[in-house]
Amino acid sequence: MSVEISPEVPAPKAAPKPRATKTTKSATAASPFSEFEAFSMPKIEVPAMVREMTEKGIEQARDAYAKVKTAAEEATDMLEDTFETSRQGVVEFNMKALDAAKVNTDATFSFFKDLMSVKTVAEAIELQSTFARQQFDALSTQAKDMQEFATKLTSDVTSPVKEAVEKSIKDIKAA
């Protein structure tokens, strides 16, 4: 067996290291592209009047934002109060309607119980007439009470909205 020995290949020479260039701290800290003219920012002196106008504009924007934020918070509070008032009112209205239905149902059962114990047709007719008159009076009173409650509830729900709208109009006129 023969072994061939290849001639030694010299190792590649290392590339020369680039020389360190002196750069100023401000040039490297400002931008990695500060050496390129296309990316350099010219030094412009902003006139004092432009600075003042800009600061005034920023201050006005902050004031406007604060006013809008306050108005939004007030509107949210008003809506929460309105929804809570409506919820409570509807629950109370439903309770009144259930109470009226219970009273009417009890009166009807009482009428039928009394009707079963009559001895003559005349008693039955008088009992029925009395019951009809009492139910008409009771239903009239219940309807009047429900209407008054609904009117009060409507007023309670809409008054905060009305006040908020009036305040907004007043604020707009003042501005």
> Each residue of 100-123: pLDDT tens digit?
999 999 999 999 999 999 999 999
Nearest by Cα to 108 from 126, 128, 137: 128
Helices 121-174, 48-116: axis angle to 10 degrees equals: 180
Range of the domain at 129: 83-174
Mean pLDDT of 81-104: 93
Dist. CA 40–CA 36, nearest whole Å: 7
- Does some domain include residue 23? no
Q: Tens of pLDDT along 119-166?
A: 999 999 999 999 999 999 999 999 999 999 999 999 988 888 888 888
- Does some domain include residue 30? no
- Amino acid letter for position 9: V
Q: Residue 50: what pLDDT?
A: 86
- Does some domain include residue 122? yes
Dist. CA 138–CA 140, nearest whole Å: 5
- Does some domain include residue 113? yes
Q: What is the pTM of this model?
A: 0.58
- Does some domain include residue 51? no
- Does some domain include residue 12? no
Dist. CA 98–CA 33, nearest whole Å: 80
- Does some domain include residue 74? no
| Total domains in the fold of the chain | 1
Dist. CA 134–CA 147, nearest whole Å: 20
- Does some domain include residue 3? no
Q: 156, 85 in Cβ contact below 8 A?
A: yes
Q: 40, 34 in Cβ contact below 8 A?
A: yes
